[in-house]
Structure 1
Amino acid sequence: MSSTPIADLAFLSDRHSCALVDRTGTVEWLCFPRFDGPAVFARLLDDDAGHWSVHPDGDWTAARRYAGRSLALETTFRTAGGELVLTDALGLGPDNGGHRIGTDAPHVLVRRLACTAGAVDVVVEYRPRPEYGLIVPLLSHLDGGVAARGGADWLVLTLPGAAALEDGQATARLRLHAGDVVHLALQRSTLGDPEPAHVWSQPELAALLDRTLEAWESWSALHQTYDGPWADLVHLSGRVLQGLSYQPSGAVVAAATTSLPEGVGGERNWDYRYSWVRDASFTMEALWVAACPDEAEDFFAFMTTAGAGGIGPDTSLQIMFGVAGEHDLSERTLGHLRGWRDSRPVRVGNGAWDQRQVDVYGELLGAAARLRDQLPGLDAETRAFLAACADTAAVRWRDRDQGIWEVRGEPQHFLYSKVMCWVALDRAIVLAPQLGCEDRVDAWQKAREEIRDTVLQQGWSEEAGAFGQYFGSTALDASNLMLPIVGFLPADDPRMLATIDAIADRLTDDRGLVYRYHTEEGVDGLAGEEGTFLLCTFWLAQALALAGQVERAREVFERAVGYVGDLGLLAEEVDPATGELLGNVPQAFSHIGLVNAAWAIDQAEQARR
């Protein structure tokens, strides 16, 4: 059974795929060559599903950090006899002046071992298990490394020195003295690749790692200009969101992992390695604060292509896509994996891909409006696509749907979905000259006002003293904190203040962290409970800042960021009983919430001054 604390996982990215490394120097998760590819190492979900560990022999202590302004991990091991610095990164292509990092990435995980004092004996354990642990590959020696063959994968490990091969595992011992530097690497290819994986030379790997560090630094220096409160966390969140984007297409994944549970031992275990329209749109907006994205144009080009032909008054935009634009993301379970702390089932694919969620039009057009300065010359296809989103929202807002939380129960008239259709039309009106749609503005204005009137009449619950989760409901839902954030109502409107207070008082745990909604009310069609949502807690901080309650906003924000890991990473939820991070990691939504709440508090404080 895998039991590594989720907070112990470090995130590496080359903007094609990712790896997760724990505090002991063990790679517990690696997907090649895409975020959603079959894992080569999946010990995160089962002890027998593959790993690659590098650490000193014997007793040691360790500290870690990200190197400079990068997503390269430095782990410093200290032993009785010396000190070892392990630097891990997924290699990037040539630095192009800080723009669109990840172009021409070689798909290599490189690990630099540098002995900085004394002498250190290092143990290397390499246990590949392609296809989520299904395959025990055949290992063989190469000059300067180890080859692994099995299934569709051809893996080459660069490993100076002798390695013992047994039961699908390579084990090696290296003795390093002060000043010694050794590079290890792993590369994957498949049958027929024009440039198959090979053993890399030490100078080649040194240059690759240096180039990777330089590329991240160059990107950060060019883009990360936010200087408000919590700047370090905002900048790190910007790099994480950049690292969750798939460079070849412009897609953005919701998280790096699958099936890390929302409740230990429960069934709420989902695959988040896909591009949700909602999450990706919010990511683009957060990058406007944290990194000023060059990638806005790429993202909208991706959405125009992926969503082509699937939008109109009689059809719904699909809510999520594969990172290359795939539509069919059918869900299946991996029965051979025990799951993180026995949380089953382990899933790949996501059955929500064919749900109806009418809020997506608002998130998409909201991002387009926020990023319009980065979209100076929209092509005809993108203009038509965005206009079609507005036209569809003007019709489909009346529909029941599964809502922002993708409930697997009965569709409802979720309040958040209606409000986001209002956002779609509101932002389309602003964008109309850029879209060439001035002739549609009157119709869009009429539909926008109809939505507003309906939400105010049917969304308010006198019994709850707040806006309800869906029309006629007395249940609270944290997504209603978005009403002032998107400009539907002022934050100091009495109905909004009452809703904020109701959520703060009745939808929080003992730590003051916010639930999405109370699962025992049964709307989501799933068994079991879940943790509090970090995104929702940041929404509360943001709404309070907009209401001018800056001190309360700061308190809520500090409460939420108290759960960042030692590297500044956030998962989806917090276990209300233990305070541990739960859910897939790193979670784009959580880092988006952090960025936007910090920005809102900064703006509120500036306005006060």
Structure 2
Amino acid sequence: MAFDTTGFEQTDSGRYLPISEHGLIGDLRTTALVGTNGTIDWYCCPRFDAPSVFGAILDAERGGSFELAADVPTRTRQFYFPDTNVLITRFFAADGVAEIQDFMPVADESPEVARHRLIRRVICVRGILPFRARIAPRFGYGAEAHTVSLEGHVAVFRSPSLTLALTATAPLETDGVDVWSHFKLLEGDAVVFALDQIGDDVPARSCPRAEAEEQFEATVRFWRHWLAGSRYQGRWREMVHRSALLLKLLTYAPTGAIVAAPTTSLPEQVGGERNWDYRYMWVRDAAFCVYAMLRLGFTSEAEAFMGFLFERMRDTAANGPLQIMYGIDGRTELPEYALPHLEGHQGSAPVRVGNAATGQLQLDIYGAMIDSIYLYDKWGQPISSDGWEDVGMVADWLCENWDQPDEGIWETRGGRRNYVYSRLMCWVALERAIRMANRRGLPADLPRWRQTRDAIYHQIMRRGWSSELGAFVQSLDDGELDASLLMMPMAKFISPTDPKWLSTLDALTKGLVSDSLVYRYNPATSPDGLSGSEGTFSICSFWYVEALARAGRLEEARLAFEKMLTYANHLGLFAEEIGPTGEQLGNFPQAFTHLSLISAAFNLDRALG
């Protein structure tokens, strides 16, 4: 690391912090990424999927940021206030030590919920330190002009789509576009910055030091009270609880939807085109999330998502397939387009908003969805009569439509294929529906469901198995490996000690695993319609741990799990992928990875006894 003249730490490129050098705060409606240098360089207001206000992580010049740091060279360290999503960034300088406490109060349903208050409290804990702040919003992904009006300690930023008010207990100045502040703190001194969305019903309001202290304590209480509901007491409690806190942070409270990640277009390969918008609710991801939440004892989160899911099923069950993803408010249209005025993280273009994969057919989502309903029916609340009607419609639709090519779990853009994983999850959907019908005595066309379930099983065994490779393969009648098949024993399709499965596990270990890290597939031999390469996929790495544990290979499983934990960032957070030298790649932090961490920790812990 080097320092520029302002005292901010810089990467070798001088413009971007690595993806992993960030922590996340939020209020269950939106989030902000805070760098280890004290800069907020990603913040969308008022929701996860709103246009960015601070987007410097995607364009250091045009994206906008909220810089706050010591005005001298420093070392920094970052951590979460214990058992919370309150983030602390500490600055160590020759003459003193100070810290920034970043958090967003979690409001109730009063008008205050629309404020989305973001509080940054700077405290000098030793010696003396000068600080500087630069608040430079760039509205509408950096495409909207704005004005600034400054009256004393309140600055109001106005754009056509959004108005924000910044209040501070330190002097402010403006150049008409950005706002600046310079101040010096002695030991025990504190300065507070509060950024609010304002409007007709939410006027600008100051945030004096006493109120900031009250809000800090209330936010700490909220997160600790929520986390106290966890039942997990295993070996990896700290990592599991950090993952749980993240999953809660990625939940959109008004609907119960869970976003796949709070960011868009962070690259799977620096300089490449594999850049996608993950600020939406994937049925697959959220359904797996229900499993993780139920395992830990958070039934209200599972219940909220189930309500969201059944609404989507009622909208579409009688008219064809579900979408693979929805907006956090349930909307179905998520048009994908590029933002050519943004250069992308470290020059990784294009920057995309929306997601064209919405229109893909991915048959595996039905298995994840009905499995989550089955688990909720078993561990949460019994399924309602209306809910069972929806499940029945989906099962009947699958009986007609399972045997066709689709785009598959990895959302490839190279055309549809007969993916074995898609068949596997169709089998799961029907098998779980049959279980529910039998256990509850519910009406169902069981002969048809059983016949279809068994036909899928036989097709996978006959055409999804390669005698030459000694492994189950990516697509029917081909010879490519795919890490999604690590789900086969977890889905209870095959015994984890079945000779065919153990042979598959060995083949996957040889062909796709690198130091506990797992590639999804080999794009060189299995083209996916995109150029470039990618890193190892972290969810697959945790699936690998669980597959080893279920196969009885506990020493291998534990070592692989402990190795994976070393790839987390300094806060215990994971992006979607891990690059060749251990760098984090892709959208960050990713829900799918953390829910698979919870599952792997739970099952490995149980196997170890």
Do they superpose with TM above 0.5?
A: yes
For residue 143 of structure 2, the aligned residue among 128, 131, 134 is 134
Q: What pairs up with 1:110-509 in 2 under 5 angstroms? A: 110-166=119-175, 168-189=177-198, 193-221=200-228, 223-312=229-318, 315-373=320-378, 375-376=380-381, 378-432=383-437, 437-509=442-514
Q: Which amino acid aligns with 2:55?
A: A
| Shift, 1:378, TM fit | 4.0
Q: What's the offset of the Cα at 1:554? A: 1.1
How far apart in 2 are the matches of 1:63 and 1:361? 43
Closer/same/farther in 2, CA of residues 436 and 151 from structure 1, 3 Å limit = farther
Corresponding residue of 1:551: 555
Counterpart position of 1:97 = none
Q: Is the 8 A contact 1:30 1:42 kept in 2?
A: yes
For the Cα contact (< 8 Å) 1:401–1:412, is it kept in 2? yes
AA matched with 1:339: G
Q: Distance in 1 between matches of 2:184 and 2:58?
A: 32
**Pairing partner for 2:533 from 503, 507, 529:** 529
Which residue does the alignment assign to 1:598? 601
Note the residue ranges of structure 2 that are not aligned, 5 or more in a row: 1-12
Deviates most, 257-266 or 383-392: 383-392
C-alpha distance in 2 between matches for 1:559 and 1:392:
42
Over the matched positions of the two proteins, sequence identity in percent amounts to 38
Report the Cα distance in structure 2 between the residues aligned to 1:104 and 1:13, rounded to whole angstroms: 12
RMSD of aligned Cα (Å): 2.0
The Cα offsets for residues 119-171 of structure 1, whole Å up to 9 and x where unpaired, read as: 22111111111111113421111342211111211110111232221151111
> How far apart are residue 202 of structure 1 and its match?
3.4
Distance 2:383 2:304 in 1: 11
Q: Summarize deviations over 1:18-56 as a string: whole Å, max 9, x none.
A: 000000110010011111010100000001211001111
For residue 88 of structure 1, give the secondary structure of its aligned residue in structure 2.
strand
Quick one: which of 582, 591, 594 aligns to 1:579? 582
What whole-Å deviation, never above 9, does each CA across 1:201-235 have from its counterpart, x for those lacking one?
433333222211110011111x2221112111011
- Residues 296 and 374, structure 1, Cα contact 8 Å, conserved in 2: no
CA distance in 2, matches of 1:419, 1:368: 17
**Cα distance, 1:346 vs. partner?**
0.3
Shift of 1:252: 0.6
Q: Within 2, Cα distance between the matches of 1:569 and 1:542?
A: 19
Q: 1:103 to 1:593 in 2, by over 3 A?
A: farther
Given residue 46 of structure 1, which amino acid in structure 2 is its aligned partner?
D
| Residue identity in the other structure for 1:189 | I
With over 3 angstroms needed to count, the CA separation of the structure-2 counterparts of 1:440 and 1:529, relative to structure 1, is same
Match of 1:518, SS? coil
Q: Does 1:63 align with 2:77?
A: yes
> What is the CA-CA distance between 1:113 and the residue it aligns to?
1.4
1:156-209: CA deviations, max 9, x gaps?
Answer: 01112322211511110122222222221111135xx42244433433333222
SS in 1 for 2:369: helix
Aligned partners of 1:384 and 1:435 also within 8 Å: no
Amino acid at match of 1:35: F
1:74 corresponds to 2:81: no
Letter in 2 for 1:390: A
Verify: 1:26 aligned to 2:39, yes or no. yes
Q: Is the 8 A contact 2:377 2:383 kept in 1?
A: no
Contact 2:392 2:444 in 1 (8 A): no
Matched, 1:513 2:520: no
C-alpha distance in structure 1 between counterparts of 2:561 and 2:112, whole Å: 35
TM-score by length of 2: 0.94
Local SS of the residue matching 1:316: coil
C-alpha contact (below 8 Å) 2:169/2:208 kept by paired residues: no
Residue 543 of structure 2: aligned partner: 539
Looking at structure 2, the residues matched to 431 and 35 of structure 1 have their Cα atoms a distance apart, in angstroms, of: 35
Native 8 Å contact 1:413 1:470 kept in 2: yes
Q: Which moved more, 1:584-593 or 1:298-307?
A: 298-307
Task: Tell me which moved more, 359-368 or 196-205.
Answer: 196-205
Alignment check: 8 A CA contact 1:63 1:76 kept: yes
Q: CA deviation at 1:307?
A: 3.7
CA distance in 1, matches of 2:123, 2:441: 58
Number of matched residues? Answer: 595
Q: Any conservation in 2 of the 1:66–1:72 contact (CA below 8 Å)?
A: yes
Shift of 1:117: 1.8
Residues 325 and 136 of structure 1, relative CA distance in 2, 3 Å threshold? same
Q: How far apart, in 1, do the equivalents of 2:269 and 2:516 lie? A: 18
Preserved CA contact (<8 Å) 1:103 1:247: no
Q: Structure 1 103/540 Cα, relative in aligned 2: closer, same or farther at 3 Å?
A: farther
Q: TM-score, normalised by structure 1?
A: 0.94
Find the aligned partners of 2:317 and 2:285 in 1 and give their Cα distance. Answer: 19
8 Å Cα contact 1:467/1:499 also seen in 2? yes
Residue identity in the other structure for 1:146:
A
Question: 1 CA distance for matches of 2:297 and 2:251?
Answer: 13
2:24 counterpart letter in structure 1 = F
Amino acid corresponding to residue 607 of structure 2 in structure 1: A
1:42 is the counterpart of 2:60: no
Query: 1:552 & 1:138 partners in 2: Cα distance?
Result: 59
